[in-house]
Each structure stands twice: as structure tokens, then as C-alpha cells.
Amino acid sequence: MATLAVLGCLDTKGHEHGFVAEAIRRLGHTPLLIDAGTTDRPQLPPDIRASRILPSFTNPSDRGSCVAEMAAAIGPFLRKLVDEGTVDGVISLGGSGGTSIATAAMRALPLGIPKLMVSTLASGNTAPYVGTSDIVMMPSIVDVAGLNQLSRSIFTAAAHAVCGMAEAREDRTAASTSGRPLVVVSMFGNTTACVSAATHELEAAGYEVLTFHATGTGGRTMESLIDSGMVSGVLDITTTEVADELCGGVLTAGPTRLEAAGRAGLPTVVVPGCVDMVNFGPRESVPDRFSGRTFYQHNDQITLMRTTPEENRRIAAYMAEKLNAYSKRPAMLLPLRGVSVISEAGGPFHDAEADRSLFETLQSRLAPEIRVVTSDHAINDPAFAQLCARELLRLLASPQPT
């Protein structure tokens, strides 16, 4: 039996959430009714009142600011309930304000925890609400405003869905005890050969490999999965998102990229893969301030810009600062013959001075305790891929002391 949080603005949509709670109870699970409204005047008695989540609001008469404050408070509150084992999943119903509050709570939860949002906004752009989480957005069809023939049908289906998700998670948890440990790997088209070969070796050693496309969203999702506690090791071959973050590209994963493995204390191997490039959309979308730079048209929709020696020094210093903070020391592997397919000798992005700036800065800025391995190969050479896999396997077999 699972305990499912039925979370919502019970001051305006209490009866609807109460209906879902009763449906969950009929299905053999336990609902935990949580009021995340902004008035602390619920339409029916909750198990957890809004004042327990947020005792007071800065400006109670301004609903917009109250919604923002509740959205900021509800995530840590619900995460604590999940971490304590009090809550096994969450469902919510809402319009714009309720969706904003509830999905903020859901995004704070680990991947794999059932999260179902029945929303009037589910058929539009859900990216701001879902983020990198595994939230399921279900259209409410009608407004969440009362119980009628259609809303009862939708809400009952939603209750069955979240209960099914919770039951499936229990099955997965039981099955995973005999599963292979997970390793995450970052990949780009320009590092595919390296990642494929390294993956083959890791799988042969008994690991399951999850590959993430380093497109901004991919990097954020990988970091989120690392934070979830499901991962045993990290092979971060493609760190190009750092170049986009520092140099104005469109595929940045944000300023927290490269931090999750450090927080988790995981065996980690990092490669400056594809930091020779900054990503933009079609050629006409490249900002005018970059005129005169070296470009490569990857396809009709993607334009790559070669990073300069100065930008490589900044990228290397940034990466070193991140890695120096790791609780368990990672390894840094440097492919001296090219960090991508197109930066090898004879390629359109080959720039010996820029590469030298990158490698020398990394070697000088990384803490002495961090193992730096230089390889006289390009990143996609099978020998370098093998080096990456075996270095991670070494770290997995012999965890470093904290």
C-alpha cells in the first residue's frame, strides 16, 4: 500500500482534491491531503494545513506573490516527506496557480517517484512546469472548478493512474535488486564513436549505461538523475554545455552543470569533449557580435562556432573550479589529438593553440589530488574510449576516500 500526497489549493479546489483522495482510498492506497493554498482556509479538513508549510506570507493581499512564495516553500517540504518515507507519490489538480505550485513541489522530488499533474495547461508548453523531472501532465479538459460528469471521469482516471504508477514503482524497486548498477554518459554527435566504444566495455563489465545528449536539457536531466541516488558512476565525456554557458551558445545546461557528481560523491571521469564548439541554431540566428569567427554548419538547424584560446582558458578554469570541489576526486582525461571529430588535425576546427590553452589551464588549475591522464589520441580513437571506460572501472572498483 502506498501513501500518495493529494496536494493542491484546497481553499479553492478542496472538493475536487477530496474526490481524488476518496478514489485513491477505494483503490487500496492511503491519501495524504495537503493544502498548498494561499489563504489557509481550506474547503475541507486537510491532513496537512498550508500554515504548516508556510506560516505566513510577505504580502497576503497579493495573490501572485503568495503563489510564488508557496511554490518556493512546498518543494523542500514535500521532499522531506518523501525522504522520510512518509509519501510515495503525488497527484494534484489545478489551473495556472495550482499548476505552478504543485509542479514546483514535484520537480523537487527524485526521479521515479510518481508525479501526476491534472492541469488546464497540460496541452500547451509544459516545459516550464516539467523541467527535467518525470512529471506526467494530464489535461483536465474542463476547468478544475467543481465536480461534474466529465470532471469526475477525468479525476477518477487520474487517481487510477497515480495508484498504478505507485504499484509499478513497487514492482520496479523489487526487481531492481537484481539489476545492473547504472552509469551515466554524456554524448554528442561529435563524440558518438567514443561513447559507443566506452559503453560496450562498461556493459561487458556488468554495468547498465544511460546516455544523455548534451543539448542543455540532456545535461540538466543527467545531473537530476545523478542527484536522485540511482547512479553508481559518471562518465562525462561530452562537456560542451559548459562552452555554451560561458560563450553565449544556445545549448547551455545552466551554471550547475558538473556539480551533481561532486555532491553525490560518485566515481567520475570527465573529458573536455566538444568544448571546441559553441552551439547556435541556423546560421542567420548567430548574434552579430560573433561575426568574423570560425563556423561549421553541422546541419540546416545547427551552426557550430570554434572556441578561441581565451575562451578555452575560461572553460578550463571553470571546469577545474567545479571539479576541485568534489568530495571524491574525479579523474580528468585529455585527448591531446582533438576533443571532437572536427578538431582533429585537418578538421575544420583544428586549432593547436586553442587546444593547448585548454589542456595547460586544466593541468595547472586542477587540484593536485585529481588524477589527470593525457592521451596521445583523438577523442574518438578506440584507444581513448577504452581508456575512459577502464579509468571509470578503476574508480568504481576502488572508491576514493572522502
Q: How confident is the model at residue 132 (pLDDT cuts 50, 70, 90)?
A: confident
> Tell me, what's the pLDDT at 230?
87
Query: Residue 44: which CATH number?
Result: 3.40.50.12020
The pTM assigned to this predicted structure is 0.74
Stretch 185-202: mean pLDDT, rounded? Answer: 96
Query: Residue 235: which CATH number?
Result: 3.40.50.12030
Q: Please write the tens of the pLDDT for every residue from 103-126.
A: 999 999 988 899 999 999 998 889
Tell me: pLDDT of 177 over 50. Answer: no
Q: Please write the tens of the pLDDT for every residue from 333-368.
A: 999 999 999 999 999 999 999 999 999 999 999 999
Number of independent structural domains in the chain: 2
Give yes or no: residues 171 and 188 share one domain.
no
Residue 76 belongs to domain spanning: 3-175
C-alpha grid cell, residue 248: 553565449
Does residue 213 lie within any of the structural domains? yes
Give yes or no: residues 160 and 206 share one domain.
no
Long-range CB pairs of 362-367 (<8 Å, 24+ gap) are 362/272, 362/316, 362/319, 362/320, 362/332, 362/334, 363/334, 365/316, 365/317, 365/320, 365/321, 365/324, 366/320, 366/323, 366/324, 366/332, 367/320, 367/323, 367/324, 367/329
Q: Please write the tens of the pLDDT for every residue from 19-75.
A: 999 999 999 999 999 999 999 999 999 999 999 999 999 999 898 999 999 999 999
Give yes or no: residues 228 and 296 share one domain.
yes
3-state secondary structure 273-285: ECCCEEEECCHHH
Give yes or no: residues 304 and 239 share one domain.
yes
> Tell me, what's the pLDDT at 178?
44
Give yes or no: residues 50 and 197 share one domain.
no
Give yes or no: residues 129 and 210 share one domain.
no
Q: Which residue has the higher pLDDT, 132 or 337?
A: 337
B/e letters for 173-205, b = 16+ CB within 10 Å, e = fewer, are eeeeeeeeebbbbbbbebbebbbbbbbebbeee
Does residue 402 lie within any of the structural domains? no
List CB contacts of 157: < 8 A, sequence separation 6 or more: 138
Give yes or no: residues 189 and 161 share one domain.
no
Q: CA-CA distance, 134 to 76, in Å (whole number)?
A: 17
